[in-house]
């Protein structure tokens, strides 16, 4: 979608981190912005920053739980009523939990897959039919380097992000099948500084973390805190690269270029068929 000015951006997880920076970048490029998040105070902050950084850009906020289809459908209805169209959908909300796979609780699986995997599925289900009716649109899914290479201690997160990559590739092929003029982009960043290592702040009480904190879980959580805090590319750069990709109709986006080397190394390990690919081997 070459021209973004006067178009409508819809952003899930717009109350923090990358979602906030995507919202600011969309506003700078002249788009109206609809934010959806469980964090209403965070969205208010994003809205204030948009108002401070731009002149007259429309920004609306909506309470949204991406893991629930009725909530996503109500969000889509509200956006269409307010703005009359949706041009670029960012399925961006995401959460993380750490530990060895056998230690996760049922609630851990339901929470992380609910947000990271079903959240993207419900975004597509609620908004793509409206784009098809409009005859244009673009879907951006935030995956992760974890959608391509699997580090230990993030089993549910890795599973969810592999699913987002699979969903994105299939969506692009399904849209091509349907001869639809709707673009798709899948963004796969490595670590960058945001509050994601503190995702539990927005965890619903009905899926509360009840398991005792084991030594292994604590170590992996500390590692995530450190890696995210020391990420070298800021979220605003990732947002800008992502918007450029939407305008160029680019499908894959790897803001951290070194991840592509890991993807290649994994493909070589697959050719060898010998041992599991280790993201840190040789480093």
Ligand X SMILES: NC(=O)c1ccc[n+]([C@@H]2O[C@H](COP(=O)([O-])OP(=O)(O)OC[C@H]3O[C@@H](n4cnc5c(N)ncnc54)[C@H](O)[C@@H]3O)[C@@H](O)[C@H]2O)c1
**Given the rule CB under 6 A, which of 34-42, 167-175, 176-184, 267-275 is the region that contacts ligand X?**
34-42
Nearer to ligand X, 4 or 64 (CB): 64
| Residue 16 binds ligand X, judged by CB under 6 A | yes
| Residue 154 binds ligand X, judged by CB under 6 A | no
Q: How far apart are the first and last CA of the chain?
A: 39
| Residue 191 binds ligand X, judged by CB under 6 A | yes
How many Å apart are CA 194 and CA 198, to the nearest integer?
9
| Residue 84 binds ligand X, judged by CB under 6 A | no
| Residue 153 binds ligand X, judged by CB under 6 A | no
**Given the rule CB under 6 A, which of 32-40, 166-174, 206-214, 272-280 is the region that contacts ligand X?**
32-40
187 forms beta bridges with 142, 253
Q: Are 165 and 187 in contact (CB under 8 A)?
A: no
Nearer to ligand X, 13 or 183 (CB): 13
**Residue 283, exposed/middle/buried by CB under 10 A (0-12, 13-18, 19+)?**
exposed
Q: How big is the CA angle at 234 (ends 278 and 121), to the nearest 5 degrees? A: 65
**Given the rule CB under 6 A, which of 9-17, 74-82, 214-222, 246-254 is the region that contacts ligand X?**
9-17
**Residue 50, exposed/middle/buried by CB under 10 A (0-12, 13-18, 19+)?**
buried
Nearer to ligand X, 16 or 240 (CB): 16
| Residue 159 binds ligand X, judged by CB under 6 A | no
- Collect all residues with Cβ–Cβ distance below 8 Å to 121 and sequence separation of at least 6: 167
| Residue 202 binds ligand X, judged by CB under 6 A | yes
- Collect all residues with Cβ–Cβ distance below 8 Å to 130 and sequence separation of at least 6: 76, 80, 86, 137
Instruction: Output the smallest distance, CB 230 to ligand X, in A.
Output: 10
Q: How big is the CA angle at 158 (ends 154 and 163), to the nearest 5 degrees? A: 155
Nearer to ligand X, 84 or 195 (CB): 195
**Given the rule CB under 6 A, which of 24-32, 60-68, 170-178, 205-213 is the region that contacts ligand X?**
60-68
Among the listed residues 19, 99, 137, 255, the single contact to ligand X using CB under 6 A: 19
| Residue 17 binds ligand X, judged by CB under 6 A | yes
- 228 token code pair: 């995210």
| Residue 108 binds ligand X, judged by CB under 6 A | no
**Given the rule CB under 6 A, which of 63-71, 169-177, 207-215, 249-257 is the region that contacts ligand X?**
63-71
How many Å apart are CA 125 and CA 113, to the nearest integer?
16
Task: List the one residue out of 260, 2, 5 whose CA is nearest residue 148.
Answer: 260
Nearer to ligand X, 66 or 86 (CB): 66
In the annotation, is 252 catalytic? no
| Residue 158 binds ligand X, judged by CB under 6 A | no
Please tell me what DSSP assigns to residue 146.
Answer: G
Instruction: Output the smallest distance, CB 275 to ligand X, in A.
Output: 26
Instruction: Output the smallest distance, CB 212 to ligand X, in A.
Output: 24
The residues annotated with a catalytic role in the active site are 157
């Amino acid at each position: 979608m070459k021209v973004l000015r006067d178009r409508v951006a819809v952003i899930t997880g717009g109350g923090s981190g990358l979602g906030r920076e995507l919202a600011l970048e969309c506003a700078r490029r002249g788009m109206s912005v609809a934010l959806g998040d469980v964090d209403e105070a965070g969205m208010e902050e994003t809205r204030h920053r948009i108002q401070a950084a731009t002149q007259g850009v429309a920004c609306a906020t909506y309470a949204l739980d991406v893991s629930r289809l009725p909530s996503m459908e109500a969000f889509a209805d509200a956006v269409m009523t307010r703005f009359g169209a949706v041009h670029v959908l960012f399925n961006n909300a995401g959460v993380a939990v750490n530990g060895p796979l056998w230690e996760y609780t049922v609630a851990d699986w339901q929470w992380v897959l609910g947000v990271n995997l079903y959240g993207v599925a419900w975004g597509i289900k609620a908004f793509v039919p409206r784009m098809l009716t409009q005859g244009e649109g673009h879907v951006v899914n935030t995956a992760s380097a974890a959608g391509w290479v699997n580090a230990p201690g993030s089993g549910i997160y890795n599973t969810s992000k592999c699913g987002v990559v699979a969903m994105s590739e299939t969506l692009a092929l399904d849209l091509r099948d349907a001869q639809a003029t709707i673009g798709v982009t899948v963004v796969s960043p490595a670590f960058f500084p945001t509050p994601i290592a503190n995702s539990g702040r927005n965890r619903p009480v009905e899926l509360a973390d009840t398991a005792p904190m084991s030594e292994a879980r604590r170590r992996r959580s500390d590692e995530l805190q450190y890696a995210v805090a020391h990420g070298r590319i800021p979220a605003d750069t990732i947002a800008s690269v992502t918007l450029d990709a939407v305008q160029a109709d680019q499908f894959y986006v790897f803001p951290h270029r070194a991840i592509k080397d890991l993807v290649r190394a994994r493909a070589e390990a697959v050719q060898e068929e010998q041992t599991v690919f280790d993201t840190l081997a040789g480093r």
